[in-house]
Chain A
């Protein structure tokens, strides 16, 4: 590996442009990665403040703060913004920054398209958020936007929502094409597929998932568009359409989508755990196969979101079995992570703390997922807070902790400065406690019978809702600390980071200096 050789190759390159044009016109994967990450964090705060409104209203029974119409807009926008604005762009940002560094490529394969796929996002979200100010309000039909609530009965702003989804979809597809082209064509000589770092592997598979399902999402919103504006009846029973068709198409996108949000996080922790256990990842090959298996199975389980719509019993059984099967490769991954920690020599810096919490809490989310897979039991769980608890357990300590872990792990590489470890740990512990306080009681609420997406609830649900709200406020406020930590680091306040600040870290990204120069790997490194 010849990192030092690269640095002097830098001299022949120009640095970043000055001023705004640097960001508007950049084709540099690091700049674009940073923009994705900043955008994603902004969306995380926006979507988070909507969650705060929701939890404030649910703090007590009765309507205190918002009206039901607005409450529904908040749940809808919270979901849409977190999924499409916070989690997905964050992983694309990580991919932009890290994939070229990890495979030893000078940049992404298609840099101009890269710029375009980023800049589509602010446009899409500007449009989506502007619906809040339109007559009739923002979309209010849940992030799953089931027809006919979202078509015949949707607010006028629905058409803007559809356009925004189209734009996000184009952005994601272009991002995915870029990832695939980069990984398949630009790996350093000697880096065979089975030598690729796991983050690269998981992103490769995620990109294929994106290309497979984003067009399906585009299809379903286009059908809505036609129903709303051009007189078709895809989903309108009165015109011979089929509201259940909507759900089949939506979840054919929607289930792989949840893996799109988690697989890159699998990759991240598969780097961090070995690094801080100072021991190679256990079962590299089985990790790769497990991710592949999960991705394939994710196309065969969509109707487990629809156990109550009345699909025939054979369909019901098929989707139940297929869903249960996903537990096997997921289990393999968890066992592998634990086996990696076993007999290691562990230290617990912030990235490791987030990764260990990831393994524990994601597994809990996996357990509730397994419970939800049991179709007869799902009749009781479905559309209750049990489901809300489940998907927040896989998304918050899953996707989002994965992103935090990645951010802390690679911040020294990005900024050249070590983050403040004490603050990082504080951020972790407050997030950990807040998150569990917010979401664990939701299991109880769901089991006791509280439906989801309601602005007010019966009195027996009062106590746990209050606990949950307190936890949510705690978690929400804590994220400002993260902003502070990162800004501090970017500004250069803190210890200077060496090229490889983590004793046990492996990979090409640690062979370039910290902060990573504007251009890296102009000549490819050799991988043995």
Chain B
């Protein structure tokens, strides 16, 4: 089980949180002009990388606020926690 450092409440057990999946996926700006392929990319294509993953979490059984996490998907180590809307921190790796 992960120990997640909520920016508002501090370190809490993973069971208090809900993972919201890959972060930094922008909804197409003008839906009417968006092609089927672009909708597919937005809705369904995911990186699922072996290594650094940027993802959203919600402290659903706590403050209920969203934030971003950078995590290594091989070791599961959490490398950084950063606010929604911010670009990912420079971790010196991809």
Pair from one complex: no
